[in-house]
Amino acid sequence: MTEAKPPAPPLALPPEPGLRSRKKQQRYTTISEAAIALFLERGFEKVSVAEVAAAAEISKPTLFRYFATKEDLVLHRFADHEDEAARVVAGRPAGRAALDALQRHFLDGLERRDPVTGLCDAPAVLAFHQLLYGTPSLVARLHGYQNRSEQALTEALTAAHGGNRLEARLAAGQIVAVQRILAEENWRRVTSGEAADEVWPDAVTSANRAFSQLRSGLTRYA
């Protein structure tokens, strides 16, 4: 009788995909949050990069390996949103137009009071927005993020609908501008003392009108 073979040893599981990337991203977030806490407490201009590095328990050269500028320590919170519109277009359901997908996504953001829509009255979010929009160098740096968002959306629209790339870029510029202006208007009303729940119906109406205007073009002003 043939002797039974011993069971094979279990195969070693491969490392979890993206683990290193997630750890790196967590380091970005940890450093950024330490910086924002200091900026909110003392003001952006009154906190040095060296003080941020000390609070995050890293060296100043290490900090600059993660963040190219002091402003990026704050704007890291926008990093996930930089290509958000492009991802919405690329991941939309089959048969749904790009503009319809973007409108639905913005309305969903209003519904869940996503801070990026400006319709959030949580004290921590209001404090962050005051820091951001009350600091000229941060506002200037924010334009770079918006430009990259526009570029990513241009590529997504070109891939989705083809056509002339300049036309896609013009469309992307209008879409990004509409979302920014809607968010700024919501933020203005919330910071003036209105509750997000009170602003929400008007915010939905304004968003629907804005996307309708995107569809119809500038015929009113022709």
Q: What is the mean pLDDT of residues 158-166?
A: 88
pLDDT surpasses 70 at 78: yes
Residues 216 and 22: their CA atoms lie apart, in Å, by 42
HSE-up of residue 173 (Cα within 13 Å, Cβ side): 6
C-alpha dihedral sign at 114, 115, 117, 120: positive
Look at 10-14, 65-69, 141-145 and tell me which has the smallest mean pLDDT. 10-14
CA–CA gap between residue 86 and residue 152 (Å, rounded): 6
Taking residues 135-157, what's their average pLDDT? 93
pLDDT at 222: 67
pLDDT in tens, 165-186: 999 999 999 999 999 999 999 9
Ordered domains of the chain (ranges, CATH): 19-77 (1.10.10.60), 82-221 (1.10.357)
